Amino acid sequence: MSGCPLIHFLKPNIGLSLESGAVGSILTVTGSGFAGSSEITVIYDAIPIACDTHNGTTSTFTTTFKIPQSVAGSHTIIVKDAAGHSASGTFTVIPEITISPYQGKVNDETNITGVTDVPNS
């Protein structure tokens, strides 16, 4: 039908470069369907962790951040724009333990470090 205005509804969605990893992993978040020329905020478990601004009128963005100190298990990542549009995803923190030295003799000293907090364990 000619003469009818086109109405575009935004349906935001995000993609995560990793589904899981250790604390300190670098995660890239890409998104589309957000308001163009709008600031976006990435929220990790209810804590704002990264901000980015779209260039021009595009409704897409890419931003990167380091997974903060957190317990092992699932964590919610929410992306919101200034117009109130949002989308979410899940990232799973995997416990990471480092043993140094890896080999040794009986009674040698060993250092064990890493994220070992597992909820409900």
Residue 96, pLDDT score: 81
70-116 pLDDT per residue, tens: 999 999 999 999 888 899 999 999 988 778 877 878 888 888 776 55
Q: Over pLDDT 90: what percentage of the chain? A: 44
Residue 8, pLDDT score: 56
13-115 in CATH: which number? 2.60.40.1930
Q: Are 78 and 91 in contact (CB under 8 A)?
A: no
19-64 pLDDT per residue, tens: 999 999 999 999 988 887 888 899 999 999 988 766 556 678 889 9
Hey, what amino acid is at 25?
A: S
pLDDT above 70: residue 15: yes
Q: For the chain, what is the mean pLDDT?
A: 84
Q: Tell me how many degrees the CA angle 97-100-104 measures, rounded to the nearest 5.
A: 130
